Chain A
């Protein structure tokens, strides 16, 4: 991701300078590069628009109706009433709270752990690097549903071994039901999520680390900067784009969390998130109108996160890199 951003910089800046002086001055080379760009990216762009815009518009349209799949004859237009129901219901706000909690905690922990792993990979001996990278990536290669079942059976009061192994910890014993109430259940859900996706963040951060010019760190070292100063003043500011991509991707992913919760608790005892609410309303209750309204709200929240992340990090990936 980051490598795409940096390779785009020279081409884009070369194109922008003459553009300010008028379209006629655009060189033949730039024009043919643009054409090539469209030829390469065009088909994918068109397909993306076709497969995403249509369902998004359809969902928005459906959300304006009172429409139950098993009562097609009773479908009627009700305007924004479904949104009124969604926003005035405590279930929505509770689920939003749980979703935000999971997103914030998992992304923060993954960022710290992922950065540590990236540093280990970056500084490891060359011979070990490949092996280390593969080992770290294994959890990410596991199918989420499989990992969810593994974590579930690990902590389950009947089949799990965690209660026995950790019975020396206060509060944990053979009678402790991890999935019987919100706090421990959310702990297991988040731990499973962190275990599985930290490798993803660490890989993105590793690519960011690799892009920090070694002259800068060496110069700082010569000037007598401590490890912490090099990290906070040189390395991290130069990795801002990579950190943003990592945070953005993971935040969007974590906000839409579904599989882990579906398998472990099915949303019981205050562990439901917005994705699960949308699923239960649209697929479980077959209330297409109300379910679409929840989905549209979820979609808008995801866009909001993307905007906040991009604005917050002040990074423009498409053209000039760090502003």
Chain B
């Protein structure tokens, strides 16, 4: 085959020119990103969890309000909370200076706070941001007695139900209900109980709520070093939790796909004809509304939707619903720590928290935001959410959260294999893992 001839010198010059152009372009681009806005106001990078665009809108609002002190650009983290943690932890450990503001899932805060990856929150901001926040959000932002992050929004699970099914089962939903009552109702009505049985974080959320609802914490000495952590898993509360989880699994009350059912699948199944009661986050309400608007869900299902506080384990003891949400942390190695905290103050203002709830369905951490008439109008269950947040108990606080949570997930799934031995097995397993004697 003929190859068109080109003189070697010209070709070499061409290659050299292309190389130099490439290098200049790379240098210019990297300069742009590191300087972030040149000599003027710094550009802060806010690493956000995926949402419906609310955080990007708040970033724009705060950039405009800063009067040129800073501008915020958002950068998207992976969808899974565990993947978000993996990325942030690796980059923080490597001293990445671009991590200015981070949306953090509260259980992962201790792991990042313990080695000093998070910049200390200024005393004034620590005080103002926690004074009005619900209790769970304050706990989630605190590590070893210090506020290490700023509460942004708070999440909690409610018991969602179909009013028609509750009526059919003869349950009075104006009074607190127990897990046993729900199991009986599902048996009686031949419907599915909406719980999350997938081997994932949602399993720890459920197990923790079952323990905390009996006044038992999974870790009894938070903050202890790995080999000294005391677990409360092997306890009478554990027996009761295992009885509930195991019965739902063995009796098939959660439906045939329980072993792979996450929060979103639970929501979809609940909307179907077999749905009855479901424990889930408030996004299910926004999702049902959207589905009705899109025409994929009959409006009668939305009209039939009821809500109540998370179920109790025993009738005479107050429930301890799961707690979630997002707190904001500032990277210790950020080049713009002061501006980042100014931005955090703006992002977490009561007004922005209300906006975020109304627009994206994520409940505020600030109590005052619940009094906002717009919030009350958009979310008829806002007061129940607020009450639930006051009762909510966070998941175990430890710098080894990943080990504790994964250990629980591995031993408490599949649900039908959970027996009275499960709490002890889980406790022994996690203890061995934390001592470095076992693989996870």
Contacts and interface: CB of A to CB of B under 8 A. Distances in A.
A268 B197 CA distance: 12
Interface in A73-126: 73, 85-86, 89, 91-92
Contact of B114 (A71, A158, A277): A71
A177 interface: yes
A290 interface: yes
Contacts of A85: 436-439
A62 interface: no
A266 interface: yes
Interface residues of A, number: 33
Interface string A45-86: 000000000000000000000100111110000000000011
Interface stretch (A8-16, A164-172, A194-202, A281-289): A281-289
Given A158-B265, A177-B257, A181-B259, A92 B115 contact: no
A295 to B, nearest CB: 13
Contact of A66 (B112, B406, B436): B436
B439 A72 contact: no
A70 B112 contact: yes
Contacts of A86: 439
B82 interface: yes
A285 B403 contact: yes
Contact of B93 (A72, A91, A181): A72
Interface string B196-225: 001110000000000000000000000000
Interface residues of B, number: 32
Given A66-B436, A70-B115, A269-B414, A286 B89 contact: yes
Contact of A89 (B89, B198, B260, B438): B438
B96 to A, nearest CB: 13
A264 to B, nearest CB: 10
A272 to B, nearest CB: 10
A72 B199 contact: no
A314 to B, nearest CB: 38
A176 interface: yes
Interface string A271-312: 000000100110111100010001000000000000000000
Interface of B: 82, 86, 89-90, 93, 111-112, 114-115, 117, 198-200, 256-260, 265, 268-269, 399, 402-403, 406, 413-414, 436-440
13 contacts: A72-B93, A89-B439, A158-B268, A175-B256, A179-B260, A180-B257, A180-B414, A269-B199, A269-B414, A285-B406, A286-B86, A286-B402, A290-B439
